[in-house]
């Protein structure tokens, strides 16, 4: 059992909550690049000269060697190479394929018939598409670069098919690597740290868009939706909605935006062992961001990214489900993680929605930036060098760089307004956080192009 700090003297319009927690062990999604563990390939059209040379070099984490897909110019044939992943990959992943086309820019390959498609087992996700200019990303050497696109459905394998070569475009396509990473998918913010489940409540939907899990019972279709922080928010539900198919680790984080519109507003997370437990929020006509972090020894509440001290309900860690019911209240962006987010991640998550968090709150360990303070980074995108500017002192600050999964990849004491990111960091989206000596935190998105 654990004490959850939930009550605050400044909270004034009722929001009730209690929580079921699964103890089923669930393997949390890998936060680094994930590479396929096997491949197969086949040539069609009766082409005896079509082949894949060193096909095994296109899989695994070595990004410096390559396989070669070869089709002679003018031959009416194609090669299909299939890349298989060991585990089911959740939706909304950024797929990247490192390629090279000798003696010609990779941008020219948009003129060629190259297609890509994802599958869940042997079932197509119906996302068959031709590689176009927007998907081809040249590097400093225009003959080398990547094919990049974002999936929307879970998959276990991808197929890359290449048709015959054309004059001037070459007959070889080199594949250096294939991998996927968590991708941006919120409608108003940065990636929410690769969650296990995500209910945006947009499009009049109660479905998690990562794994397709639906809040049940399925016959509850007369749900109320209104404007939320990010698209639509879910309103009153006369019948409780059960998230019975969502297992939670003993280490978990639940994040959501909520507001209470009347004195008798409530949001209930029910438990069959202790009955209804609740915490109250008063004078909250606007959406505020809440995070509940749970481990086997303790549980904590954060509001607008900041820890809220106090005493509150007891949650038992051996429950079966999450049950959601609301009266005169709204909830948006319900996100469930199979791990504990760090304090830095929780603050970055709350700030990522580009919604002002400059509101009164109880004493906290961290303070968010005030509206008259300026913190900028440039250039953005950058090839590696960053200049930071502010209208407040930065002496004694620390700088942190995290990837889109929330993993810290760089840390340094502030010594200069201009500094270089490590050359080992690959291109992508990162979060730069500056924490001042008085514990104020400023976070900005950085796009690194290499």
pLDDT of 445 over the 80 cut:
no
Better pLDDT: 243 or 129: 129
178 with 59: CB under 8 angstroms?
A: yes
Query: 228 and 133, same structural domain?
Result: no
For residue 101, what are the domain limits?
A: 38-182
3-class secondary structure, 111 = helix
How many distinct structural domains can be found in the chain? 3
CATH number of the domain at 410, please. 2.60.40.10
436 with 394: CB under 8 angstroms?
A: yes
Better pLDDT: 306 or 216: 306
Terminal C-alpha separation, the chain: 49
CATH number of the domain at 305, please. 2.60.120.200
Query: 394 and 344, same structural domain?
Result: no
**pTM of the entire predicted model:** 0.54
Average of per-residue pLDDT across 371-400: 83
The answer as to whether 6 is a domain residue is no
- How would you label 215-226 residue by residue, b for 16+ Cβ within 10 Å and e otherwise? beeeeeeebebe
Average of per-residue pLDDT across 49-71: 94
Helix, strand, coil % over all residues of the chain, rounded to 5: 5, 45, 50
3-class secondary structure, 349 = helix
Q: For a pLDDT cut of 90, what percent of the chain falls above it?
A: 24
Residues facing residue 238 across a β-bridge: none
Query: 437 and 320, same structural domain?
Result: no
Query: 257 and 144, same structural domain?
Result: no
Average of per-residue pLDDT across 423-441: 82
pLDDT of 191 over the 80 cut:
no
């Amino acid at each position: 059992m654990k004490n959850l700090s939930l009550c605050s003297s400044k909270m004034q319009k009722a929001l009730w909550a209690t929580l079921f927690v699964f103890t089923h062990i669930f393997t949390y999604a890998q936060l680094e690049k994930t590479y396929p563990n096997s491949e197969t390939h086949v040539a069609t059209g009766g082409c005896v000269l079509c082949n894949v040379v060193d096909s095994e070099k296109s899989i695994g984490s070595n990004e410096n060697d390559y396989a070669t897909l070869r089709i002679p110019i003018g031959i009416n044939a194609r090669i299909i190479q299939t890349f298989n992943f060991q585990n089911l990959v959740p939706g909304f992943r950024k797929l990247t394929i490192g390629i090279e086309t000798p003696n010609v820019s990779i941008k020219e390959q948009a003129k060629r018939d190259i297609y890509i498609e994802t599958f869940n087992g042997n079932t197509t996700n119906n996302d068959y598409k031709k590689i176009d200019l927007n998907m081809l990303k040249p590097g400093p050497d225009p003959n080398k670069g990547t094919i990049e696109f974002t999936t929307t459905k879970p998959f276990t394998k991808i197929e890359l098919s290449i048709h015959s070569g054309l004059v001037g475009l070459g007959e070889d396509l080199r594949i250096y690597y294939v991998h996927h990473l968590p991708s941006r998918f919120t409608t108003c913010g940065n990636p929410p740290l690769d969650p296990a489940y995500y209910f945006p409540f947009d499009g009049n939907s109660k479905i998690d868009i990562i794994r397709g899990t639906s809040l049940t019972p399925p016959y509850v279709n007369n749900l109320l939706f209104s404007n939320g922080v990010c698209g639509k928010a879910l309103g009153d539900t006369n019948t409780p909605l059960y998230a019975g198919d969502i297992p939670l680790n003993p280490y978990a984080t639940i994040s959501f935006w909520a507001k209470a519109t009347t004195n008798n507003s409530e949001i209930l997370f029910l438990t069959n062992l202790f009955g209804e437990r609740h915490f109250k929020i008063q004078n909250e006509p606007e959406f505020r961001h809440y995070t509940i972090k749970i481990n086997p020894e303790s549980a904590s509440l954060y509001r607008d990214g900041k820890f809220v001290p106090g005493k509150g309900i007891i949650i038992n860690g051996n429950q079966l489900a999450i049950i959601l019911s609301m009266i005169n209240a709204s909830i948006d962006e319900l996100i469930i993680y199979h791990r504990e987010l760090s304090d830095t991640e929780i603050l970055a998550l709350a700030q990522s929605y580009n919604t002002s968090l400059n509101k009164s709150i109880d004493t906290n360990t961290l303070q968010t930036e005030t509206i008259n303070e300026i913190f900028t980074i440039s250039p953005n995108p950058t090839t590696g060098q960053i200049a930071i500017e502010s209208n407040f002192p930065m002496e004694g600050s620390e700088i942190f760089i995290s990837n889109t999964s929330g993993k810290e990849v760089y840390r340094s004491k502030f010594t200069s307004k201009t500094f270089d990111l490590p050359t080992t960091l690959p291109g992508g989206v990162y979060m730069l956080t500056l924490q001042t000596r008085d514990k104020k935190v400023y976070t900005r998105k950085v796009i690194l192009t290499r």
